[in-house]
Amino acid sequence: MFVIMVYDVGEKRVAKMLKTGRKYLNWVQNSVLEGQLSPGLYAKLKSEVSKILDEKEDSVIFYTWRTEQYTKREILGLERGAIDYFV
């Protein structure tokens, strides 16, 4: 499955959240990561994220889909992380 993760967390947890995200996904932009994951790894990622986040302050959104067939990705300006998933 393809996963986009966007996070908005308190400053104290930013570094840890990014580090955890990068264990599973590729960093593409400030607080945005993307990648292909098995459902099992996706579950592990969510489990790790939920341990880090403060539910009263933080927000992490995951967009997932099985196929990239219907998805397009366009970038304006800089390509910060190198990604080759999308054609």
What binding mask, one character per residue, do residues 27-66 give for a copy of itself by CB under 8 A, x or -? -xxxxx-------------x--xx--xxxxxxxxxxxxxx
- Quote the CA–CA distance of 49 and 72 in Å, as a whole number: 27
16: its two tokens: 């840890």
Site residues (CB under 8 A) for a copy of itself, limited to 65-84? 65-67, 69-80
Q: 3-class DSSP state for residue 18?
A: helix
- Quote the CA–CA distance of 56 and 40 in Å, as a whole number: 27
CB of 3 to a copy of itself, least distance (A): 10
CB of 12 to a copy of itself, least distance (A): 14
